[in-house]
C-alpha cells in the first residue's frame, strides 16, 4: 500500500516550560476517517545549566475530550506532507498548550537532559504507536527548572 507521510512541529518560537509544571509541547490530531501512525519524534532543549535535573517527556494518546481545538488554549500548528501521493491530509496540530488536553494515556516516556540536548527517535518497524480515529498523540514535558523545548512528530495515516 502506498504511504503518505506528514510532519508537524513547534513553531518558530520554542515552547517554554515552567518549573515543575507538566505541559503539552506538541499534539497531532487525526480526523474521523483514519488514525495516526507515529514514526519519529524529535525533541531538543536550550538549557545552559549542566547541573540541571532532567526533563520528563511523555508520549501520550489523547481522546481529545477537552482543550483540544487548535488555536484555543494553545497555538495552532501546521501539518506538512513530506512524501507520498498528495492528498488532503485532514490532520491538525497544536503546540505550547496553556491548558492540558484530556483524556491522556501514557504510552512511553523518557528523560531528557535540559542542557542543550536532543533526542532523535525513530520507532522500529512494527512497533509504531497508533491511534483510533478522531484521537491525538501528545508530547508532554515536565522540567524541574525553566527551559525551552522544541519538538517535531513524523507520522503516517493508518
* Cβ-Cβ contacts under 8 Å for 120 (sequence gap 6 or more): 40, 41, 42
Task: Provide the residue count of the chain.
Answer: 158
Cα-only R_g, the chain: 15
Contact 27, 97 (CB under 8 A): yes
Residue 32 domain boundaries: 5-157
Confidence of residue 105 (pLDDT cuts 50, 70, 90): very high
Cα-Cα-Cα-Cα dihedral sign, residues 111, 101, 9, 17? negative
**To which H or E segment does residue 153 belong?**
strand 147-157
State the average pLDDT over residues 90-106: 93
For 116, the grid coordinates are: 542543550
Residue 2 banded pLDDT, cuts 50, 70, 90 = low
| CATH number, domain with residue 50 | 2.60.120
On whether the pTM is more than 0.85, the answer is: yes
Mean pLDDT of the 88-99 span: 92
142 exposure class (CB count in 10 Å sphere: 0-12, 13-18, 19+): middle
pLDDT band at 89 (very low <50, low <70, confident <90, very high): confident
Q: Lowest mean pLDDT: which of 8-12, 52-56, 66-70, 95-99?
A: 66-70
Report the distance separating Cα 43 and Cα 121, nearest Å: 9
Flag whether pLDDT at 115 surpasses 70.
Answer: yes
pLDDT tens for residues 6-51?
999 999 889 999 999 999 999 999 999 999 999 999 999 998 888 8
The CA distance from 85 to 82, in Å, is 10
Average pLDDT, whole number, for the chain? 92
Domain count, the chain: 1
Question: Left (φ > 0), alpha (ψ -120 to 50) or beta: where does 64 sit?
Answer: left
Query: Looking at the predicted structure, is the pLDDT value of residue 1 above 80?
Result: no
Rounded to an integer, the average pLDDT of 100-115 is 92
Q: What is the pLDDT of residue 82?
A: 95
Amino acid at each position: 500500500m502506498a504511504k503518505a507521510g506528514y510532519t508537524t512541529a513547534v513553531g518558530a518560537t520554542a515552547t517554554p516550560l515552567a518549573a515543575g509544571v507538566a505541559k503539552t509541547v506538541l499534539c497531532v490530531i487525526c480526523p474521523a476517517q483514519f488514525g495516526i501512525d507515529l514514526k519519529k519524534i524529535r525533541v531538543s532543549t536550550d538549557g545552559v545549566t549542566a547541573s540541571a535535573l532532567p526533563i520528563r517527556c511523555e508520549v501520550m494518546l489523547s481522546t481529545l475530550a477537552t482543550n483540544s481545538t487548535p488555536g484555543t488554549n494553545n497555538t495552532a500548528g501546521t501539518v506538512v506532507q513530506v512524501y507520498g501521493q498528495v492528498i488532503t491530509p485532514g490532520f491538525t496540530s497544536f503546540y505550547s498548550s496553556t491548558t492540558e488536553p484530556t483524556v491522556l494515556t501514557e504510552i512511553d516516556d523518557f528523560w531528557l537532559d535540559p542542557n542543550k540536548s536532543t533526542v532523535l527517535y525513530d520507532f522500529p518497524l512494527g512497533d509504531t504507536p497508533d491511534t483510533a480515529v478522531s484521537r491525538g498523540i501528545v508530547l508532554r514535558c515536565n522540567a524541574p527548572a525553566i527551559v525551552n523545548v522544541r519538538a517535531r512528530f513524523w507520522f503516517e495515516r493508518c
